[in-house]
Amino acid sequence: MAGSVLGAAQAWQQVLALVVAATVVMGSPGPATISVTAVGAAFGLRPSLGYTSGVVFGTIA
């Protein structure tokens, strides 16, 4: 009985660690977001649309 309770507590601890890690990763910008921001800042909105659409289509494909 004590072994199953300990195992369940350890399983919940692992699930909690996974949820915390997933939340941090979802909340942080990735390299694509940072590069699109940099290209937009360097070249402006209209010239960076081609690059942005390439990043979007490359992510989807």
Tell me: pLDDT of 54 over 90.
Answer: yes
At 13-37, the pLDDT tens digits run 888 888 888 887 777 778 888 999 9
Tell me: pLDDT of 1 over 60.
Answer: no
Q: In whole angstroms, what separates CA 4 from the centre of its chain?
A: 34
Rounded Cα distance, 31 and 34, in Å: 5
Domain residues for the domain of 45 are 2-60
5 pLDDT tier (thresholds 50, 70, 90): low
Q: How many domains does the chain have?
A: 1
42 or 13: whose pLDDT is higher?
Answer: 42
| Type of residue numbered 43 | F
**CB contact set of 39 (below 8 Å; sequence gap of 6+):** 48, 51, 52
